[in-house]
Amino acid sequence: MQCRPQQQPILQRVPSSVLYIPNLVYLDLQLNYFLGPIPDALFDKRLDAIFLNNNQFDSEILDNFGKSPACVNNLGYKKFTG
């Protein structure tokens, strides 16, 4: 299953409900206006691809980022630190 709400004027944090979508394997939140931190459990999900680029995230890169099983993790054009 895919989640792709691209180019929407969504000025809020990523809803935690995204982490509970059954059978989700492709998460594409790029080109939106999500802000704040990335949900802690996101990189623990068994996803094939995660696209978070071109949003307004502004947190540290999470410790579990390197443990993500996703083949693609796109975090470009963010204000990440760490």
pLDDT at 39: 86
pTM over 0.85: no
pLDDT at 70: 93
What gap in Å lies between CA 52 and CA 32, rounded to an integer? Answer: 9
pLDDT at 1: 61
Helices and strands (H and E) in the chain: how many: 0, 6
Render pLDDT for 43-58 as a digit per residue (tens, 0 to 9): 999 999 999 888 888 8
Residues of the chain scoring pLDDT < 50: none
Domain ranges of the chain: 2-74
What gap in Å lies between CA 56 and CA 3, rounded to an integer? Answer: 19
pLDDT at 46: 92
